[in-house]
Structure 1
Amino acid sequence: MIGSRVTTLAASLCALGVLVAGCGSGAPAPEPSSLAAVNPRPEGAADLAPVPNIAPDADCDDEATLRPLAMPPPGAMAPGTPMARIVDQGRLRVGVDQNTYLFGFRDPTTGRLEGFDIDLAREIARAIFGDPGKVELVSVTAAERVRALATDKVDLVVRTFSATCERRRQVDFSTVYYRSGQSILAPKDSGITGAAQLAGKRVCVANGTTAAGPVFAAVERPTVLGVTNWTDCLVALQQNHVDAISGDDPILFGLAQQDRNLRIVGESIGTDAYAVGIRKGEDELVRFVNGVLERIRDDGTWQRLYNARLSALGPSAGLPPPRYVG
């Protein structure tokens, strides 16, 4: 009885051994896999075509905006205005980012959206309702900003949204609330020290931004990869799909904070002026938002928000002066 059990156990161990090493049968070990490691680009990434040269519109001032009027008390918006409609809907809907450190990002410890743009959206809600919490933060990509306004998905866009003459054909803008340069972010050991070293390289930008223009304007154009979000550029660089990233200085600073092997290099290759995006034709709302920006300039709120969110970028030059036209 015991012998049969030993025989059975031995047979079982041999059967298991066949799976592992042939149980002494001399069967060769399986060949190692010849499949290459998969390293896909970020979803939606694609090479971009050069930006066509468009003659500047001599009649367009990309930073011009409407002068604010007397500000009504919170909750007492004039009937028939966009602000009254917002009061009736019970919250201010604002298109924001959740992937750009410093300006609009999701805090991993709290799950809350934080950043300079988020704080600015809350200040506009405070002016309408008297309560900065009455805001619905709607995450939109850079490429979705104009459409989000045109389709009434949001009331405003506060998302590192640069005021340009091309965009003014579709949306209106507040006065500029932050001015930025555009630079290059590259690995410290890459040998890239500025735009001159981008010839023959691969550079990442976010789709729907103005970043591709200055990159394509280089004497020898690099290959430009467009992605959905700036964090996709960081992944593309870390996985060697690109050699560098080009974007606004605070955006690049935020990416460098997430990977200390990267640094901002060279001189500025462009400038951007962030403003609040507003649906075309809503002049009362443009004037109202400009009134909010005037208030936070005068009472020190803008500087307080800068100190809390953007002080790592260095001393502030203050809220840029407005260019009112009517």
Structure 2
Amino acid sequence: MKLAKVLVAGLGAIALSIATIGGAQADGKLQEVLARGKLIVGTGSTNPPWHFQDDKGELAGFDIDIGRIIAKGLFNDPTKVEFVTQSSDARIPNITTGQVDITCQAMTVTAPRAQQVAFTVPYYREGVGLLMTKNGKYADYAALKAAGADVTVSVLQNVYAEDMVHQALPQAKVDQYDSVDLMYQALNSGRAAAAATDMSSLRWFMKKNPDRYVDAGYGWNPQTYSCAVKQGDQDWLNFVNTALREAMTGVDFADYKKSFETWFGETPPEPKPGFPAEMR
């Protein structure tokens, strides 16, 4: 009799544990967002082509489109999203404190950051490139490198800026500027033969000014951009990863392709039917 009571009590405890786990899953971020009826995305507003205010004063950019792609996956409606503008140093705190559901803000994946948030699958690979003016003194990267110390490169001021430029052009002179505008003014005035800038910015400038700028044809210093969510909710992370993956490789590729072409001026490779290339 005592053994039977122990077994019944044990089974009751197991049932309670299962119910508790099920309740925790039901109360996760995915269910919270679905019940709310909109997605809350943390992002920026001052960094084109990623996030900025357009001529109408509305947020636009690649990160904004990524947020809408996720909202479409949630509600079959890309407009069911609220964007919370935040500074770059608020990207992680706003996730960990639950102020936003997800951060999509040109955020570089690093191992230390991955100790604080859960990163989604990558949606862009950033790098550094060399922006040049058309019909300038040097035709391309090979000509810049061959010119050695005769070349001056403008770059945004940073403790690593000179070393970064010298990874691509070891002998070049490096002029650092405390604003992006001044960096580009140096290029436009001829004080610099090239401007070292993010590849995304390079493509954006070329798209907006196709008759003015060219790409030197060399990229380096790769960085992975991903969205970030709060740690500990695998269902939410799995959903966002599914939405992003299918935008880049599956049923929603048209949305991703249109955005990529709009902001970077080039077409991403079409996913091919058959064996999933990402599994190679």
**TM-score (norm: length of structure 1):** 0.58
Mapping 1:1-326, distance limit 5 Å: 78-87=25-34, 90-108=37-55, 110-188=56-134, 189=136, 191=138, 193-194=140-141, 196=145, 201=152, 203-205=154-156, 214-215=164-165, 217=167, 219=170, 223=174, 225=176, 232-233=179-180, 235-240=181-186, 243=192, 244-258=194-208, 261-297=212-248, 299-310=250-261, 313-318=265-270
Amino acid at match of 1:145: R
Deviation of 1:238 after TM superposition, in Å, equals: 4.1
Deviation of 1:310 after TM superposition, in Å, equals: 1.4
User: After superposition, what is the alpha-carbon deviation per residue over 1:179-230, rounded to whole angstroms, capped at 9, x for unaligned?
Assistant: 34431224443659447479684643498xx988743645458657586xxx
**What residue number does 1:68 align with?**
none
SS in 1 for 2:108: coil
C-alpha distance in 2 between matches for 1:321 and 1:105: 33
Counterpart contact for 1:187–1:262, Cα < 8 Å = yes
Cα distance, 1:298–1:183 mapped onto 2, change above 3 Å: closer
Cα distance, 1:224–1:98 mapped onto 2, change above 3 Å: farther
Amino acid at match of 2:43: V
Cα distance, 1:144–1:299 mapped onto 2, change above 3 Å: same
- Tell me the percent identity: 23
C-alpha distance in 2 between matches for 1:167 and 1:86: 24
Counterpart contact for 1:201–1:222, Cα < 8 Å = yes
Cα distance, 1:201–1:166 mapped onto 2, change above 3 Å: farther
Root-mean-square deviation (CA), in Å? 3.9
Cα distance, 1:256–1:322 mapped onto 2, change above 3 Å: same
Deviation of 1:94 after TM superposition, in Å, equals: 1.2
C-alpha distance in 1 between matches for 2:124 and 2:81: 21
Counterpart contact for 2:204–2:265, Cα < 8 Å = no
Deviation of 1:81 after TM superposition, in Å, equals: 0.7
Amino acid at match of 1:118: I
Amino acid at match of 2:106: T
User: After superposition, what is the alpha-carbon deviation per residue over 1:78-113, rounded to whole angstroms, capped at 9, x for unaligned?
Assistant: 5221223334555322123434444433321x3322
SS in 2 for 1:264: strand
Stretches of structure 1 that go unaligned for 5 or more consecutive residues are 1-76
Counterpart contact for 1:101–1:255, Cα < 8 Å = no
C-alpha distance in 2 between matches for 1:151 and 1:206: 32
Counterpart contact for 1:102–1:309, Cα < 8 Å = no
**TM-score (norm: length of structure 2):** 0.65
C-alpha distance in 1 between matches for 2:93 and 2:177: 19
**What residue number does 2:18 align with?**
none
Cα distance, 1:306–1:222 mapped onto 2, change above 3 Å: farther
C-alpha distance in 2 between matches for 1:122 and 1:206: 33
